Amino acid sequence: MDEITRRTARDIAAGVHRREVSAREVVEAHLIAIEAENPRLRALTAVFADRARAAADRVDRAIGDGEAPGPLAGVPFSVKESIDLTWSPTTQGWKGLAGAVPQADAAVVRRMRAAGAIPIGRGNMSDFGMRWDTDNDLFGRTLNPFDEARSVYGSSGGDAVAVATGMAAIGLGNDFGGSIRLPASALGIAGLRPSFGRVPRAAVRDAGVAPTLQQFSVNGPLGRTVDDVALALGVLQGVDPADPVSLAVPPRTAAELDASPRRVGVVRDPLGWGVDADVAAGVERAAAALARAGWEVVDVDPPLLEEAAVLWRRLACTDMLLTLDEALLPVPLGRSAASFLRDSTAVARPYESAADYAAAWARRAVVAAAWRLLQVEIPLVLGPVSTRRTPERDFDLGGREAADAAWRDLRLVVAVNFLGLPAVSVPSGADRDGLPVGVQLIGPLHADELALEAARSVESAA
């Protein structure tokens, strides 16, 4: 891997600003990495070589003219196939959208470009982000560079692989049920699922948006370091008039962070359903790192965790059945996506009546209140991303039992989506096969900076 493609986004931007390296050189280095790695790994579905070079030249000219090109000057980034970028179709990984070139960039893309960052490619995903692996009939499977037999998780798997292998310095993904944190943990990089409303999402279309997508899904960054995802958050956050739930949340100041209780609750085995020894060791390493950094570490059983995970699953599967019914789609779902939808909904017990569906949403306030009370005294929750080591490819397929096992392994992940909380996935060592092990730090609502601060301590120790 070229020296430039090992640098952090912050270092790249600083070097471009100081004219130690040109934006054009940065882009060329990443294009060389793409040429070397992408044909095998299939992380990027489209590569914007000429456009990226032209954008880099504009950054270099701006610097030469004494202008300030932005905090991400010259930083190459990937854009997930579900986020609008006018340079190529927004396919959502589905053949039915293979020609769907958007009319405008998503707000997050516009903000990255305004900050001087350069789109370099599109990140692969599963059909509509529905699976916990990255594969589809349109572009094929994204491979794990550490072990091709293992999953890269999903659905932001393409962007995570691109960041981990030097094809992009930052990846723009989204997280409905772990889709940022899971691939980040498998690839040994950092990923942030921001608080609900902190970062704009897709503009609302005339057809409307399913309630679970409105409440559970957020856009967020993947990066080589925690500091890089924090830098990206600063660029991405804020109100977008086209997104009715986007918010203007003032970043927490250093004084506010210092005033917060320095206490982290460790969830070693969520719900006592079992955890792999290597994953448990990663959590222990992270807890020890936080203790050395001055955090008080206590054990905690998060309130109503099982209910949060079950409600997320049943509500999500209900909405998937309503919106992805093959009878309503002009082109069928991909084979693996159709199999996942069939098996997951069969075991999730989707709601059959409007009254039950409404009652499930009503319980969300009860669960959220219990977590908010907990996080007054114990602001941060540390636990595994998945309770299983990085699994084999297609681990979420193979029948109802496999679908159920995948959800059980990810119970702490999906509870975060149900509650809209910020969570950072950060590396915490390796397993017995040398594959990365990630943990997540879950903060109170809109306390993204607190979770990022703690994640830096874990990262530095790892």
Task: Identify the weakest region by mean pLDDT among 100-104, 181-185, 207-211.
Answer: 207-211
Nearest to 142 by CA among 47, 43, 38: 43
Instruction: Examine the pLDDT at 157 and tell me if it is beyond 60.
Output: yes
> Is 155 assigned a catalytic role?
yes
DSSP secondary structure string for all residues of 199-238 = S--PPPPTT---HHHHHH-EEEEEESSHHHHHHHHHHH-S
Q: Which of 22, 78, 80, 428 is catalytic?
A: 80
* Residue 162 parent element (H or E): helix 157-164
What average pLDDT does the segment 326-335 reach? Answer: 85
Cα–Cα distance measured from residue 37 to residue 65, given in angstroms and rounded to the nearest whole number: 35
Name the pLDDT band for 83 (thresholds 50, 70, 90). Answer: very high
Q: Which of 82, 126, 151, 155 is catalytic?
A: 155
Q: Taking CA 288 as the corner, what is the angle to CA 287 and CA 289, rounded to the nearest 5 degrees?
A: 90
Q: Torsions phi, psi of 165, nearest 5?
A: -105, 10
Asked if 121 contacts 46 with a C-beta cutoff of 8 angstroms, the reply is: yes
Name the pLDDT band for 1 (thresholds 50, 70, 90). Answer: low
Cα–Cα distance measured from residue 55 to residue 51, given in angstroms and rounded to the nearest whole number: 6
For a pLDDT cut of 90, what percent of the chain falls above it?
91
CA dist list (Å): 458 to 24, 30, 280, 295, 312:
34, 28, 15, 11, 28
pLDDT per residue as tens digits for the range 18-57: 999 999 999 999 999 999 999 999 999 999 999 999 999 9
> Is 457 assigned a catalytic role?
no
Q: Strand pairing partners for 174?
A: 219
For the chain, give the mean pLDDT: 96
The 8-class DSSP code of residue 150 comes to B
Q: Which of 156, 179, 195, 344 is catalytic?
A: 179
What average pLDDT does the segment 108-134 reach? Answer: 97
The per-residue pLDDT for 86 is 97
Instruction: Examine the pLDDT at 327 and tell me if it is beyond 90.
Output: no
Instruction: Examine the pLDDT at 80 and tell me if it is beyond 80.
Output: yes
The per-residue pLDDT for 139 is 98
Domains in the chain, ordered, with CATH? 3-236 (3.90.1300.10), 254-461 (3.90.1300.10)
**Taking the model in full, what pTM does it have?**
0.97
The per-residue pLDDT for 119 is 98
What average pLDDT does the segment 147-154 reach? Answer: 98
Peptide bond just before 155 cis, omega within 30 deg: yes
Q: Torsions phi, psi of 393, nearest 5?
A: -55, 150
